Chains A and B, each alone.
Chain A
Amino acid sequence: MVRRNETMAEYNIDRYQRQITLLGDEGQERLRRARVLVAGVGGLGTIVAADLAAAGMGFLRLADNDRVELSNLNRQLLFRPDDIGREKSLAAMERLRILNPEIQVEGIHQTIDNETIHELVKDIDLIVDAMDNFAARFILNKAAFSRRLPLIHGAVRGFFGQATTLIPEKTGCLQCFFTGNPPREIIPILGATCGVIGSVQATETIKVLTGRGEPLANRLFFWDGRTGEGTVIDTKRNPRCIICGSG
């Protein structure tokens, strides 16, 4: 199921005044022209999508196969109690459209698998990994590296979270660093942890698209909310990686 908002208000540059001083007119124009896939519209995806919509990302595609549940509401800030039972991708699309009517948002209620991924990334400049499992993350990773698209990884558990920016030919890929798919469990998650990591992912997206700042390339950011400390680990490509190396 695909729905999109076709009625775009005119892109009003004054809306972005406070960030244009940071990104420049050219940077803002790059955001306006950018097409981003937010894969997963849960704890991370709702934060990333809201940040990017407000920042004036020209096109956002939101993909998720889930429906809103009561237990999502501690962290998935785009949803309200009356959204329970609705498709997350479509409810989020509607909310973002209200938040910023100047951009185009497309909601796709679909499972991301080896078949559906091709259409989802077809006309996309950058992928945000906001999934809740590594099997789906590896599908995004493979698509990103075969199409040479930047992939902004984020993941959370409890007070902890991690994020890294994967850029084909410049960094390793997700399969250089992580091995398997930990079993899906009821993972404890604090909404505020999603806020930290989702905002890091949104920042990385804006940096990569505008060329400003230094992305978390070849570096893994680890957030420990329990102690309030962030740490960055330098990472290195696996030259024999099955996805981005010699196999």
Chain B
Amino acid sequence: MKITVRAFADYREIIGKEMELIDPEGKTIRELLAELGDRYPKLRSEMFTPAGELKEFINIFINGRNIAFLNDMATPLADGDIVALFPPVAGG
């Protein structure tokens, strides 16, 4: 299974623009982010509270859909999925 992770803004500074994960250990977005957090502790502290909860308003899209409207952190991953991570951008 191959998953592509595309990072934006603050997260791009930490993990780079794009990475491919071949056969990630986990099968859900939660497990994928945990694996990324192990590799990049700074990403974990940017995205998660000390209690391990995803911080509010962070946008995680799988194939163009926000996981908040899928199965949230339990959303399963499939071969070829593109995961996009970007922080809230709200100013005007």
Of A176, A180, A224, A234, which contacts B9 at CB under 8 A? A224
Give every chain B residue within 8 A of A79 (Cβ-Cβ): none
Q: How far is the CB of B15 from chain A (nearest CB, A)?
A: 14
Q: Is the CB of B9 within 8 A of A233?
A: no
CB B1 to nearest CB in A, in angstroms, measures: 20
Note all chain A residues with C-beta closer than 8 A to B68. Answer: 179
CA distance A180 to B90 in the complex (A): 10
Query: Considering the chains assembled together, what is the distance between the CA atoms of A226 and B10 in angstroms?
Result: 10
Contact indicator B90/A134 (Cβ below 8 Å) = yes
CB contact list, A27-53 vs B, under 8 A = 40, 42-45
Residue of chain A at shortest CB distance from B18: A231
- Tell whether, in the assembled complex, residue A155 and residue B66 are in contact, meaning their CB atoms are under 8 Å apart: no
CA distance A222 to B6 in the complex (A): 12
- Of the listed stretches A13-21, A95-103, A115-123, A157-165, name the one at the interface; the rest are far from the partner chain: A157-165
- B92 & A43 in contact (Cβ 8 Å cutoff): yes
User: Interface stretch among B19-27, B34-42, B54-62?
Assistant: B54-62
Q: A182-B57, A233-B84, A234-B64 are in contact. Are A161 and B89 (CB under 8 A)?
A: yes
Contact residues in A for B56 (Cβ distance below 8 Å): 180, 182
Chain B min CB distance to A220 (Å): 8
- A residues near B61, Cβ cutoff 8 Å: 177, 233, 235
Cα–Cα, bound, A233→B59 (Å)? 12
Known: A176-B69, A233-B64, A236-B64. A182 touches B9 (CB 8 A): no
B17: chain A residues within 8 A (beta carbon): 229
Inter-chain contact total with CB atoms closer than 8 Å: 87
Chain A contact residues (Cβ within 8 angstroms of B): what range? 35 or more
Q: How far is the CA of A180 from the CA of B66 in the complex (A)?
A: 12
Contact in complex: A231, B6 (CB < 8 Å): yes
Tell me if A133 counts as interface (CB < 8 A to partner B).
yes
Which of B13, B17, B69 neighbours the largest number of chain A CB atoms within 10 Å of its CB?
A: B69
Can you list 28 residue pairs at the A/B interface with Cβ under 8 Å?
A: A43-B92, A44-B92, A45-B92, A132-B91, A132-B92, A134-B90, A155-B90, A155-B92, A157-B87, A157-B88, A157-B89, A160-B89, A161-B89, A162-B89, A176-B69, A178-B66, A179-B57, A179-B59, A182-B57, A222-B9, A226-B9, A233-B61, A234-B63, A234-B64, A236-B63, A236-B64, A238-B65, A240-B69
- Please give the residue numbers on chain A whose beta carbons come within 8 Å of chain B beta carbons, in ascending order: 40, 42-45, 130-134, 154-157, 160-162, 176-182, 187, 189, 218, 222, 224, 226-227, 229, 231, 233-236, 238, 240-241
Chain B residues close to A by CB (< 8 Å):
6, 8-9, 12-13, 17, 56-57, 59, 61, 63-66, 68-69, 84, 86-92
